[in-house]
């Protein structure tokens, strides 16, 4: 049986840290795909040495998404923004990125993908 490898986009946020802790307890190897891996080191002690590895990836960049997913058996997308800042735009992060992640996961033969939206799914919901 092959080792369970889970790539989590946006794993350094509130939901991500709880998911990572649970997956680590289950023995999964976890790649935490974040823009700034140097700020995600606090996640490493939630698992055994080398079990949780923050890696650099931008959900706005297809190549970095594909690299983060390569070899994974499962992918989780928790990436989201609540306010547009700098180059972070709702259309990119919430609109285009889930499709980019899904296409890369399909191309890599990933067996399971989970997407959690960070904004309201209701057209009348307030996202700011």
User: Domain coordinates of the chain in residue numbers?
Assistant: 8-115
Q: What is the pLDDT of residue 13?
A: 92
Bridge partner residues of 5 (DSSP)? 29
Distance separating alpha carbons of residues 96 and 3, to the nearest angstrom: 30
Domain 8-115: CATH architecture, name and number where available: 3-Layer(aba) Sandwich (3.40)
Using a cut of 0.75, tell me whether the model's pTM lies above it: yes
Q: What does the pLDDT average to over 34-60?
A: 96
Confirm if 80 and 10 have CB atoms less than 8 A apart: yes
Residue 113 burial (CB count, 10 A): 18
Distance separating alpha carbons of residues 44 and 39, to the nearest angstrom: 11
Q: What is the pLDDT of residue 118?
A: 77
Q: What does the pLDDT average to over 49-56?
A: 97
Indicate if the pLDDT at residue 123 is higher than 80: no
Q: What does the pLDDT average to over 2-26?
A: 94
Question: In percent, how much of the chain has pLDDT > 70?
Answer: 91
Task: Tell me which residue of 8, 58, 46, 56 sits closest to 30, measured CA to CA.
Answer: 8
Question: In percent, how much of the chain has pLDDT > 90?
Answer: 78
């Amino acid at each position: 049986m092959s080792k369970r490898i889970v790539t989590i986009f946006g794993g350094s946020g509130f939901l991500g840290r709880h998911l990572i802790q649970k997956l680590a307890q289950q023995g999964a190897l976890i790649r935490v795909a974040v823009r700034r891996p140097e700020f995600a080191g606090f996640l490493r002690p939630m698992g055994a040495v080398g079990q949780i590895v923050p890696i650099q990836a931008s959900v706005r960049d297809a190549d970095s998404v594909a690299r983060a997913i390569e070899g994974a058996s499962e992918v989780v997308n928790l990436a989201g923004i609540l306010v547009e800042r700098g180059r972070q735009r709702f259309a990119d992060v919430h609109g285009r990125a889930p499709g980019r992640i899904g296409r890369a996961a399909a191309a890599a033969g990933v067996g399971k993908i989970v997407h959690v939206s960070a904004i309201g799914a209701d057209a009348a919901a307030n996202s700011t």
